[in-house]
Amino acid sequence: MDNFIVSARKYRPQHFNTVVGQSHITSTLKNAIVQKQLAQAYLFCGPRGVGKTTCARIFAKTINCFNVSANGEACDKCESCMSFNSGASLNIYELDAASNNSVDDIRNLVDQVRFAPQLGEYKVYIIDEVHMLSTQAFNAFLKTLEEPPKHAKFILATTEKHKIIPTILSRCQVFNFNRIKTEDISGHLEFLAKSEKVSFEPEALHVIAQKADGGLRDACSIFDQMVAFTGNNLTYKQVVENLHVLDYDYYFTLTEAFLNNKLPQVMVIFDEILKKGFDGHNFVLGLGEHLRNLLVSKDSQTLVLLEVSDSLKKKYAEQAGKCETQFLLRALNSISKTDVNYKGAKNQRLLVEMMLLSICQLTGAIEAEKKNDEPLVETKSSNANSSGPYVSKSEEPQIKTATKPVLSLQEIKSASFSLKSALSDVGHPKSTAAPEKEEKPVEYVNGEIKVELIKAAVMRYAKFKEPVSKSIFISLESCDLNLTESNGIIVTLLNHSQLEKFNEVKQEMLDFIRKDLKNNIVTLMFQIKNDDSAVIKVYKPIEKFKVLSEANPALLELKKRFDLEIDY
């Protein structure tokens, strides 16, 4: 039986131009070699399996090559390169700091540094997982690292840069390796599949690349595992089944059900996913990733952020055309809240199901908002600038597109309050009085407004609210009103209590004023008066009785006659 070599070793890069996804590192190292500007120590940092040790070996091989090319690559033909490729080079020394992290190990390394190389110009010492060295070992290494012999070069590799002491960092040129992009990993896996004569589906390679999470070595290991499982025929279905990855078709089907408001189908699909052994939290994260991809697919500028195969990009673009941006944003917000609350929930399945229900209802809510934002009616009447909320029957309407406002938090609260009021009326039919006349659309003139008109409109709103809230009527009678240059109404209140109360009815008041003034670009803002003398003092119970008794001495007589005790 032939000795099997894993793909990560068999196809390990031997030149800088074959390193995947680290061009910013390889180009710098090649330029340093060509210009002969080599530092005495390098620190390679980055996640696992991204090419730190590989680049260190290629660097050691290239600086000892007798015929370095003009672009900084080794020739692979000289004696030094051939001995390196065969694993017999004495110019490279590798130390695993995870198992050799004591002071004695570093001292032995320092003793070897003084010996010159037998063949070539430099002797390279690669210390892998250098963050595992003890503090004493680091300190023993400092002097040699700062002033090594001319022939010695050190390359330190680590996945945890923050664990290395600052005195080591200051003596090294630091190179930060990036996670390898999914597209780059997928392209390398395609090269491996063609080299090993393995048939494949592009989606299968993308799943492996995504599962590797930026590590090429992990991707090669998963690739070997899948080839053994599928028998040299990588299919998407077999890969997702073996890797226990949730098929993206579930997410596409769920999204279609959301858009069509098919609640039973959504619940059945989620139940099927749980029965297959998938974790609910991973499902939530996967659904969020899917909706994020749909949001990205809606704009050609952000389409480059989509790390999927070309065929899947088309599928995302097709479904993204059916989804409104507002729906995707609200759904992602709901998913984000579920993600935060998932671990603390006692009934995690119910939490996810409530999230799915809320997303399913979004399309209906958005359509209802659209109906409320129907095109406004513009009349041809000569009285276009007259004030009045109604349009004459004889006037011929024309369609005028309205600008859809962005929903604020207060508007959402108002909508929720209106919904609660509507639900409370269910089962309580109103009296069988004659139906009110249907109010006709308002013609918004959006002309210039004056302070006098604003005050009149505000007082009309105050009288409108008087039967419901006497405090609002009183507050509006005593407040100050001002107008900004951009048709903004500023209502100056006396204290924070009034401010809190008016914030609750802000949207209702704004709608009333816009309709009354026939101006839908008017804005409304509340502020508190800075004059301390105008601030109403908040009294304690004993102070209340004292003030009231001073204003009405009969209270003292009443307290004395009935022997009352005031609850202070």
- What are the tens digits of pLDDT across the range 393-440? 344 444 444 444 444 445 544 544 444 444 444 444 444 444 444 556
pLDDT of res. 367: 64
Q: What are the sequence ranges of the domains in the chain?
A: 7-176, 182-243, 272-361
pLDDT of res. 97: 85
CA–CA dist 364, 304 (Å, integer): 31
pLDDT of res. 279: 85
Residue 369 in tokens? 């908002």
Lowest mean pLDDT among 256-260, 321-325, 449-453: 449-453
pLDDT band at 368 (very low <50, low <70, confident <90, very high): low
| DSSP, res 274 | H
- What are the tens digits of pLDDT across the range 76-99? 888 888 888 888 788 888 888 888
Q: What is the CATH number of domain 272-361?
A: 1.20.272.10
* Contact call for residues 394 and 383 (beta carbons, < 8 A): no
The reply to whether the predicted model has a pTM over 0.95 is no
DSSP string of 373-428?
Answer: TPPEEEE--TTTT---S---TTSPEEEEPPPPPPPPHHHHHHHHHHHHHHHHTTT-
Distance of CA 70 to the CA centre of its chain: 44
Please work out, in degrees rounded to the nearest 5, the angle formed at the alpha carbon of residue 179 by the alpha carbons of 176 and 185.
135
- What are the tens digits of pLDDT across the range 292-341? 888 888 887 777 777 777 777 888 888 888 888 888 888 899 899 999 88
CA–CA dist 532, 455 (Å, integer): 24
Q: What is the CATH number of domain 7-176?
A: 3.40.50.300
In CATH, the architecture of 182-243 is Orthogonal Bundle (1.10)
CA–CA dist 390, 394 (Å, integer): 12
Kindly tell me the burial class for residue 318, based on how many C-beta atoms sit within 10 Å of its own C-beta (0-12, 13-18, 19 or more): exposed
pLDDT of res. 39: 87
Q: What DSSP element (H or E) covers 2?
A: none
| Residues in CB range of 232: below 8 A, 6 or more apart | 196, 197, 198, 199
Residue 146 in tokens? 């700062």
Which is it for the CA torsion 352, 354, 359, 360, positive or negative?
positive
CA–CA dist 525, 510 (Å, integer): 9
Calculate mean pLDDT across residues 331-359.
Answer: 89
pLDDT of res. 370: 60
* Contact call for residues 528 and 496 (beta carbons, < 8 A): yes
* Contact call for residues 80 and 119 (beta carbons, < 8 A): yes
* Contact call for residues 336 and 302 (beta carbons, < 8 A): no
Residue 39 in tokens? 């530092």
CA–CA dist 213, 221 (Å, integer): 13
